[in-house]
Amino acid sequence: MSAPDTTEPRALYGQFPTALRFSVRDQTRNRLAGLLLVLFVPAWYLLMDALASGEVLDFKLYATGRVLHVDGGHLTLISAGLNSVTMIAGFVVFDAVRKALAFDRRLVFAGYRQSTLLGAKTLAIAVIAGAIALYTALAILFFWRPTVGGWFAVLTGYTVIALTYGALGLLLGVLVKRDLEGFFLIIMGGLMDTFLQNPLGNPLANKPVLQWFPSFGPMQFAAGGSFGHTALWGHLALGLVWAASFSAVGLVIFHIRTRNRNRRAARDSANGLARDL
């Protein structure tokens, strides 16, 4: 009796680390996004703090019904950080996913399971989103020193909005046909979304309609923890619902666009992949 073949299980077991390495590598090779993170975030904080410092604003916490009288500069720093995170996280993931889509399709043709690639993409987005959120939250300390609990509320809000727009970047990366379309939707969507949450620039910022925007939950959580000493977990969960929804739709489309439809095309693509590797 011949011994059981363990080559295939071992190969399948080793697929995930390889796919994760490819995904993280693709998302960290964007030098422009790195420069935006390192240089744009502090500059954006500096500008917003100079424009809004000293203003007193009314900000409504919808979970409690309280209206907080807060320093406009500090509130604007939170919304400026949210704005930075949305654009950078969305841009990084969109660019990486769009450029790697053809390569991912060839990986499937070469024998990689789609579930492995889906898991690797999701984990890579979470890692990159967390790193972007952490840097942005640390940078805010040069302009404002909230309490420890307030800072962690800001960090958590930034992480959730980074996951949301990272998931949006994934969705657009597998959906739109040209780079310009994706960049426009991410930049304009992020600007409108986060700008409308701040009463300084939007007189309607305390209106119920804003509850339908992706940044509403993270903004409420960050502001509630920083100014109201209240942990609005339900609103944070609302932000996670946006992230999960974008991810689910994006991963379904990714699954459809990378599935193996033709054995001959799969064999040819696998041979080309072997030569590239």
What pLDDT is attached to residue 274?
Answer: 47
Q: What is the pLDDT of residue 270?
A: 47
- The pLDDT value recorded for residue 1 is 43
Residue 177: pLDDT band (50, 70, 90) is: confident
pTM of the model: 0.85
Q: Express each pLDDT in 30-51 by its tens digit.
A: 788 888 889 999 999 999 888 8
Q: What is the mean pLDDT of the chain?
A: 83
Angle at which helices 233-258 and 216-227 cross, to 10°: 150
- Does 6 score more than 60 pLDDT? no
Mark out the alpha helices in 110-215 (DSSP H runs): 114-139, 148-175, 179-195
Length of the chain in residues, anyone? 277
- pLDDT of residue 170 exceeding 80: yes
Residues 6 or more apart in contact with residue 126 via CB below 8 angstroms: 163, 166
CA atoms of 260 and 146, how far apart (whole Å): 52
Q: What is the structure's pLDDT at 11?
A: 53
How far is Cα 258 from Cα 265, in angstroms, rounded to an integer? 12
